[in-house]
Amino acid sequence: MNCMIIDDDTLSRRIIEEFIQKTDGLELISSSGDPVEGINLLKKHDEIHLIFLDIEMPEMTGIELLNTLKNPPQIIIVSSKGKYAVDSYEYDVTDYLLKPVDYGRFYRAVSKAFKRFELMTAEQLGKDEIFIKKNATLVKLKYDDILWVEALENYVIFNTFADKYTIHFTMKAIEQKLPANKFTRVHRSYIVNTSCINVIEDNSVIIKVEDGVKSIPIGKSYKEKLMRDINLIIK
């Protein structure tokens, strides 16, 4: 993965540079202490996959920088303060590292980034399928085989006819990656394959499974969109 560092802390920047150099699969494209310069560099380099980003910087904070990016690459926050963690996760950051960062914690964060990158890359290779990492292998899932996706704390579970696949990802990121013409979010914790919906009753979606049916709740804020997404005929 091509990566860059945007951090005004010189010592922290050098440490991350050393960590990147010793990690297979990472290539440092740019390292800057100026967030404005970082934005300009991003415009020149389309193939940046990961940014190590500080929060408190002169001229522009890391959060303000994120607000300028329409389609940001993966972000790993590197900050001396933990108070920005909640706000940063609204931007679907991959991880949040507290300074001083040791290599073990750095590597765990980068491992998450590698998993996301593999998922994103695999999805781009096929219009009707996605690849999920299970243990040390990549498993191909046809979109038509995915019944629903369920959130469980910091993980999401892909439920298919034959198996379940758990990955470290956010629902927001999964929702963006799955094709909108096939999948719709019906609840903060559920995304369903619209072609697999058997019945909608009261405030639930019913999907047939091998041993019966699965009832999935419909959140109030998602119901109107669900009605638009299905082929609804009313008298």
Q: What is the pLDDT of residues 132-145, one digit of tens each?
A: 877 767 888 889 99
* Domain 126-229 -> CATH class: mainly beta
Q: Are strands 155-160 and 146-152 parallel, antiparallel or unpaired?
A: antiparallel
pLDDT of residue 233: 60
Instruction: Report pLDDT for 191.
Output: 96
Q: Is the pLDDT of residue 45 over 70?
A: yes
Strand partners, 160: 146
pLDDT over 90 (residue 76): yes
Q: Residue 120 belongs to what H/E stretch?
A: helix 103-125
CATH class of 2-120: alpha beta
Q: How confident is the model at residue 14 (pLDDT cuts 50, 70, 90)?
A: very high
For the chain, the domains span 2-120, 126-229
Q: What is the structure's pLDDT at 107?
A: 96
Q: HSE-up of 70 (CA within 13 Å, CB side)?
A: 2
pLDDT of 231 strictly over 90:
no
* CA R_g for the chain: 20
Alpha-carbon distance values, 23 to 74, 98, 106 (Å): 17, 19, 10
Enter the tokens of residue 50. Answer: 């990961």
Q: What is the per-residue pLDDT for 232? A: 65
Ranking 35-49, 72-86, 110-124, 175-189 by mean pLDDT, the lowest is: 110-124
| Helical packing angle, 103-125 and 10-21, nearest 10° | 60
Mean pLDDT, the chain, rounded, equals 88
* Residue 49: predicted pLDDT: 92
With a cut of 60, say whether residue 4 has pLDDT above it: yes
Q: What distances in angstroms separate CA 114 from CA 109, 127, 157, one per listed residue? A: 9, 21, 18
122 neighbors 165 (Cβ within 8 angstroms): no
Residue 92 tokens read as 């679907």
DSSP state at residue 102: P
State mean pLDDT over 60-76. Answer: 90
- Residues in CB range of 105: below 8 A, 6 or more apart: 97
Residue 72 has pLDDT above 90, yes or no: no
The DSSP secondary-structure symbol of 118 reads H
Model confidence at 210, in pLDDT bands (50, 70, 90)?
confident
| Cα separations in angstroms, 55 against 18, 28, 110, 118, 197 | 20, 20, 18, 27, 43
Q: Tell me, what's the pLDDT at 193?
A: 95
C-alpha distance from residue 197 to each of 1, 91, 188, 221 (Å): 38, 30, 18, 19
SS3 66: helix
The answer, yes or no, to whether residue 39 has pLDDT greater than 80, is yes
